[in-house]
Amino acid sequence: MSYEVLARKYRPADFDEVIGQDHIVKALVNSIESEKIHQAFIFSGTRGVGKTTIARILAKCLNCESDSKPTSKPCNKCSNTVEISSGRSVDFLEIDAASNTQVDKIRDLIETVEYKPAKGRFKIFLIDEVHMLSPASFNALLKTLEEPPAHVVFIFATTNPEKIPKTIQSRCLQLNLKTVNEEMLFSHLKGILKKEKIDHDDESIQLIAKSANGSVRDGLTILDQAIAHGNGLLNKDEVKKMLGTIDNSLLFELLGSIIDGDGKKSFDKLAEIEQLSPEYDVILRDMISILHQISLEQVLNNSDSEEIKELSVKIDQEFCQLLYEIGMNSYSKFKVHPSPKECLEICLLRMLTFNPLQKLSDNGQTVNHQSAEKKSPKKAEKITQKVSISESNDTNEEKLLKSNEDWMKLFNSMELSPFARNYFGNMSLSSHNDKTMTFIADINIGNVPENIMSEFKIAIESKFLNKIDIKIEKGDVSNSPIQVNESKMKEEENFAKDQINNDKDIQKFIKKFNGKIKSDTIKPSK
């Protein structure tokens, strides 16, 4: 006996077996039970979500002999339903529009419309991939759809409903099928494996459900392939090899080195990943997925993964979004790039290039992207001279920050990345001695990422020329540098608005031309 593939063996025979399309099933069941059956349907959706399957079930419901009228629960035993299931019913005609695009084929079909069904209540026409029909073919169908015979039902299935003319769409009941979520597909595959009595683990099923991308048919096809690859068994290692996926721990390490700005370590880790022979687009796809999980953790704090929690603290939210956008942009170019490896490598290089934080070496010098080598010698000399003068003129006591005002002046003079400026600019100074600086941060702000803390520490130590510990306490923040700067800017804007509003010449001009000043456009001169 020949082997029957899982996608055919476990094809739903009635609406109860359909998964992930409850909204479609409910609409069809209600219309059948109320005997309000539309004479033309459009089933749209991506591949493998059940368009043709639901069309066949609908046909069986309409022509089932178990009841005197159409039923929402076909018996799958009478001759009509059996013939529809086996594809040999004379009253259920399936047409592939991709191979029958000519108008003559459609005209031949239309000629048969007038003939009553041989056995069933309805003569049902299923046209698959209907968007492939020519404009002339659609025009030939239009008249029949306007005034169809009472015994005829048209079902159109398509993956591109936007290519169907509006004149056709307006005469059909349109039902859009959704992709099936991973959890539902996981349960479905697990149930099939139990019926088939195949040894498996949950992680391997999860991998297959994820690779299916919402398509039930693709999931069953991959499952068939995985069973064959594992010689009748299913385990995660063999499934990973088959799918070309890699252990997430390696990807966590790769992302961690990118966040640290360590280019050499990043590419060393990529070389280690390449030894597993994965698909390069799969590597980037999984990296994007991890960045998405990190972003959610930063907002919701609900991840069960320790690696995700660790990276969410380590990376700034804005930088995480930037990496996500870089990854998505590169992923969209995989299909057109001549070399997938180069596409991934240039993506990693962009992530490293746009990293605003500097990688620290053991001696505390900046080494990221050779930034230290590229600094102007004259500029560095000037800074050194300035510090040395300050050192000679100020006593150690005079160099201490004694008030929040001192902290504001220091903050405004520091060269910091936007991320570090955003974190520490929203803190107020609590105390400062020659060894420790203590700041107050808002209770709603999370922990400062390690790399941002390192950047700020280096900037502070370069000002005072000694090692300083940074401590952060939670509390009510008042008069932080950003708060003061915003308040000052607001005062300047209000002053500018008052100047304009009180200017007699401007008021005469407004009155003469019946004009109006847009207050949000008024900015103080710099």
Q: Which residue ranges make up each domain of the chain?
A: 6-176, 182-243, 248-353, 389-479, 483-521
Predicted confidence at residue 348, as pLDDT, reads 94
Task: Please state, in angstroms and rounded to a whole number, the distance separating the CA atoms of residues 411 and 431.
Answer: 15
How is domain 389-479 classified at the CATH fold level?
A: GMP Synthetase; Chain A, domain 3 (3.30.300)
Residues, the chain, total? 526
Quote the Cα angle for 384-385-388, to 5°. 85
Tokens of 505: 């010449």
Task: Please state, in angstroms and rounded to a whole number, the distance separating the CA atoms of residues 4 and 49.
Answer: 20
Task: Please state, in angstroms and rounded to a whole number, the distance separating the CA atoms of residues 240 and 499.
Answer: 69
Would you say the CATH fold of 182-243 matches that of 6-176?
Answer: no
For residue 302, the Cα-to-chain-centroid distance in whole angstroms is 18
Residue 508 pLDDT level (bands cut at 50, 70, 90): confident
Is CATH 3.30.450.20 the classification given to domain 248-353?
no
Closest CA to 16 of 67, 72, 69: 72
Residue 219 pLDDT level (bands cut at 50, 70, 90): very high
Give 166-208 as a DSSP string: HHHHTTSEEEEPPPPPHHHHHHHHHHHHHHHT----HHHHHHH
For residue 154, the Cα-to-chain-centroid distance in whole angstroms is 36
Mean model confidence pLDDT for the chain:
84
Render pLDDT for 491-504 as a digit per residue (tens, 0 to 9).
877 887 777 778 77
| Residues 6 or more apart whose Cβ sits within 8 Å of residue 152 | 39, 113, 122, 123, 124, 125, 144
* Better-predicted residue by pLDDT, 207 or 443: 207
Render pLDDT for 138-147 as a digit per residue (tens, 0 to 9).
988 898 898 8
CATH number of 182-243: 1.10.8.60
* Better-predicted residue by pLDDT, 40 or 512: 40
For residue 484, the Cα-to-chain-centroid distance in whole angstroms is 38
Render pLDDT for 288-329 as a digit per residue (tens, 0 to 9).
999 999 999 999 988 888 899 999 988 888 889 999 999 999
CATH superfamily of 6-176: P-loop containing nucleotide triphosphate hydrolases (3.40.50.300)
Task: Please state, in angstroms and rounded to a whole number, the distance separating the CA atoms of residues 444 and 350.
Answer: 32
Residue 106 pLDDT level (bands cut at 50, 70, 90): confident
Render pLDDT for 405-429 as a digit per residue (tens, 0 to 9).
888 888 888 888 877 888 888 888 8
Predicted confidence at residue 487, as pLDDT, reads 82
Q: Is residue 252 pLDDT above 80, yes or no?
A: yes
Task: Please state, in angstroms and rounded to a whole number, the distance separating the CA atoms of residues 7 and 34.
Answer: 32
